[in-house]
């Protein structure tokens, strides 16, 4: 066994840890030394978004002690930056131990003299972002691992504008967390009187904010019986999504009963991720059974969503995150213009791995479109930079996330469900389905198709393998892929772009990030990026072809899917 692992495990056996934890470590020593190594070979990284990892004992796991030390470091930094009373808001989702981690976080903050608003029960992550702004908090935390498998949990840290941490605070908080060398440096108890409960009053304020995002309430009133199927996939969305839909005016809402109750074991799915068709299959079955107009699903902390619609043959299909984003962006820009409420300084924001069709739609509507790194903290950061001069409308990315309006600063599956249902009603008033609207956009602007390939590599060896893959692409980038020349390589880690046709290079202005993009001669774009929250490396494919008429949609779709398949094979993926 690695002597460092053995030394760290022994420190836990001899330190101020509870007996249950120590017995679990003894069992790993006796029966599962590989698991022991993975539990202690490193400290669970407090990244720029916080913690996320497997639950269990050890320095590389989510447990009371890693959460407590992270909170102590965050508390220390808040006290350095802010004087006077400091307030934080804390929320959690339906995951196993999420409430325990939220309580632990609250107790440590309070023991440090920080006033805590703790939600009384599970709530969607976007409501936390909203509450931070509403209550004038200096920070916040939500305990969730988003859409990861049931064995995971996490800890997302927020700043005073309701967004996740960005520079300089992200790196500075990390430094403070890394200074906490052991549990003896954590203040665990003593401030319980500083903890107060958040509940229905904040729910109502949040619900009214979401209601204010409606562009066409009169169309919703006309189509209030729109047949909506919704699944929270055992998560926190059940607390607010049905309420918000009713507040919008919709009356015909059907819940997927098997997935209605919050349950951290996620008994009906392997992964509680609405991106996965397996997680949405019960919703698809119900939508088909009742001949619904739209199917919506949110992940456990309800910050991302997926939708299902009927295709031209009447079959139920799930739209990918790019298609959903395009529909939402286009609806808000077109509807605001049609309603006469568009402003000359309107802007939208997306990310470097999201479909280029969003840029085209924005340009068509005379709206500025900006691209940032993956993650809604970067969208929030750009809003902060431009909010005095430009009017933010919507932001979104391919990973099934939308952020509508500027009252929150993180992705919001609750408001996205409401907006997409309003959009379905709007298209129904025009005699179209959402799928037909997508085809119309493809005829008008060109057929863009995107696919995501995620490759999972777990543990210490997996982390090394992912690093080796990125290093291989970075040091020996392909010059052709499936017969198409690579004309540009964009390396966001080195912050350099290079034109392979003439050898010219230029600086990339976005912050450093471990992302590589290959731009091909046929206008395709292939991106590679290790996930910041999961043991995965992700490959994003974006291809385009002209679509002369709607009847060719399925045929062209097959051509584009084959092109992506060719790229994958050429890259040995």
* Residues forming the active site: 146
**Euclidean distance between CA atoms 58 and 263, whole angstroms:** 25
The DSSP symbol for 164 reads B
Edge-first strand listing for the sheet containing 391-397: 368-372, 346-351, 391-397, 401-404
Pairing of strands 294-298, 228-231: parallel
> Which helix (H) or strand (E) covers residue 130, if one does?
helix 125-134
Per-residue tokens: 46: 């407090």
Q: What angle do CA 502, 505, 507 make, to 5 degrees?
A: 155
Q: Note whether 509 and 496 are within 8 A (CB).
A: no
Which three-class secondary structure string do you get for 236-299? HHHHCHHHHHHHHCCCCEEECHHHCCCCCCCCCCCCCCCCCHHHHHHHHHHHHHHCCCEEEEEC
Considering only CA atoms, which of 43, 3, 45, 28 is closest in space to residue 182? 43
Phi then psi for 381, rounded to 5 degrees?
-65, -40
Sign of the alpha-carbon torsion through 102, 103, 104, 106:
positive
**Euclidean distance between CA atoms 12 and 36, whole angstroms:** 12
Partners of 388 in the β-ladder: none
- Helix orientation angle between 434-445 and 321-339, rounded to the nearest 10 degrees: 90
Per-residue tokens: 88: 């934080």
User: Tokens 């079955």 correspond to what residue?
Assistant: 285
What number of helices (H) and strands (E) belong to the chain?
18, 23
Q: Note whether 268 and 291 are within 8 A (CB).
A: no
The DSSP symbol for 226 reads -
**Euclidean distance between CA atoms 176 and 185, whole angstroms:** 12
Considering only CA atoms, which of 302, 198, 200, 225 is closest in space to residue 259? 302
Q: Note whether 425 and 219 are within 8 A (CB).
A: yes
Pairing of strands 484-491, 305-310: unpaired
Q: How far apart are the two ends of the chain, measured CA to CA in Å?
A: 33
Per-residue tokens: 553: 């949609």
Considering only CA atoms, which of 201, 51, 52, 203 is closest in space to residue 126? 203
Question: In 82-120, which ranges are continuous DSSP H helix?
Answer: 98-111
Per-residue tokens: 531: 């996930």
Alpha carbons within 13 A on the beta-carbon side of 191: 20
Considering only CA atoms, which of 128, 273, 455, 241 is closest in space to residue 117? 128
Per-residue tokens: 105: 């976080």
């Amino acid at each position: 066994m690695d002597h460092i692992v053995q030394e760290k495990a022994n420190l836990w056996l001899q330190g101020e840890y509870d007996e249950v934890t120590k017995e679990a470590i003894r069992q790993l020593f006796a029966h599962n030394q590989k698991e022991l190594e993975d539990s202690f070979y490193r400290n669970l990284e407090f990244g720029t978004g916080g913690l996320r990892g497997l639950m269990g004992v050890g320095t590389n796991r989510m447990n009371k002690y890693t959460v407590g030390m992270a909170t102590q470091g965050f508390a220390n930094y808040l006290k350095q930056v802010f004087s006077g009373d400091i307030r934080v808001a804390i929320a959690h989702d339906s995951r196993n131990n999420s409430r325990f981690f939220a309580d632990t976080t609250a107790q440590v903050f309070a023991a440090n003299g920080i006033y805590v608003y703790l939600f009384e029960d599970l709530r969607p992550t976007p409501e936390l972002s909203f509450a931070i702004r509403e209550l004038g908090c200096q920070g916040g935390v939500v305990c969730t691992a988003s859409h990861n498998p049931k064995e995971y949990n996490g800890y997302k840290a927020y700043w005073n504008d309701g967004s996740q941490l960005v520079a300089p605070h992200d790196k500075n908080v990390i430094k403070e967390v890394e200074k906490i060398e052991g549990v003896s440096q954590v203040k665990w108890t003593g401030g319980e009187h500083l903890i107060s409960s958040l509940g229905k009053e904040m729910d109502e304020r949040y619900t009214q904010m979401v209601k204010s995002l409606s562009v066409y309430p009169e169309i919703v009133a006309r189509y209030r019986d729109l047949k909506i199927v919704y699944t929270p996939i055992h998560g926190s969305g059940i607390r607010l999504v049905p309420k918000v839909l009713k507040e919008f005016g919709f009356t015909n809402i059907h819940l997927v009963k098997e997935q209605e109750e919050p349950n951290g074991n996620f008994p009906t799915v392997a992964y509680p991720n609405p991106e996965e068709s397996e997680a949405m299959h019960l919703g698809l079955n119900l939508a088909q059974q009742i001949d619904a107009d739209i199917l919506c699903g949110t992940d456990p902390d309800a910050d991302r969503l997926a939708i299902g619609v009927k295709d031209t043959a009447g079959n139920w299909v799930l739209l990918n995150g790019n298609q959903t984003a395009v529909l939402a962006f286009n609806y808000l820009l077109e509807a605001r213009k049609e309603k006469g409420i568009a402003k000359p300084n309107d802007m939208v924001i997306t990310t470097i791995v999201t479909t280029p069709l969003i840029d085209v739609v924005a340009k068509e509507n005379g709206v500025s479109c900006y691209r940032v790194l993956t993650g809604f903290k970067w969208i929030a950061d750009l809003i902060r930079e431009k909010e005095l001069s430009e009017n933010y409308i919507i932001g979104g990315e391919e990973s099934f996330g939308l952020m509508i309006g500027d009252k929150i600063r993180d992705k919001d599956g609750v408001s996205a469900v409401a907006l997409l249902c309003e959009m379905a009603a709007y298209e129904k008033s025009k005699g179209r389905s959402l799928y037909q609207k997508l085809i119309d956009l493809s005829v008008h602007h060109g057929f863009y198709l995107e696919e995501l390939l995620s490759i999972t590599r777990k543990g210490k060896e997996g982390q090394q393998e992912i690093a080796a893959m990125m290093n291989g692409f970075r040091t020996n980038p392909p010059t052709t892929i499936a017969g198409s020349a690579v004309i540009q390589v964009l390396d966001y880690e080195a912050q350099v772009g290079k034109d392979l046709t003439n050898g010219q290079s230029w600086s990339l202005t976005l912050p450093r990030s471990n992302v590589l993009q290959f731009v091909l001669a046929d206008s395709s774009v292939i991106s590679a990026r290790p996930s910041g929250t999961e043991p995965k490396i992700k490959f994003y494919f974006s291809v385009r072809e002209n679509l002369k008429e709607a009847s060719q949609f399925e045929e062209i779709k097959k051509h584009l899917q084959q092109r992506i398949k060719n790229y994958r094979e050429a890259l040995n993926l």
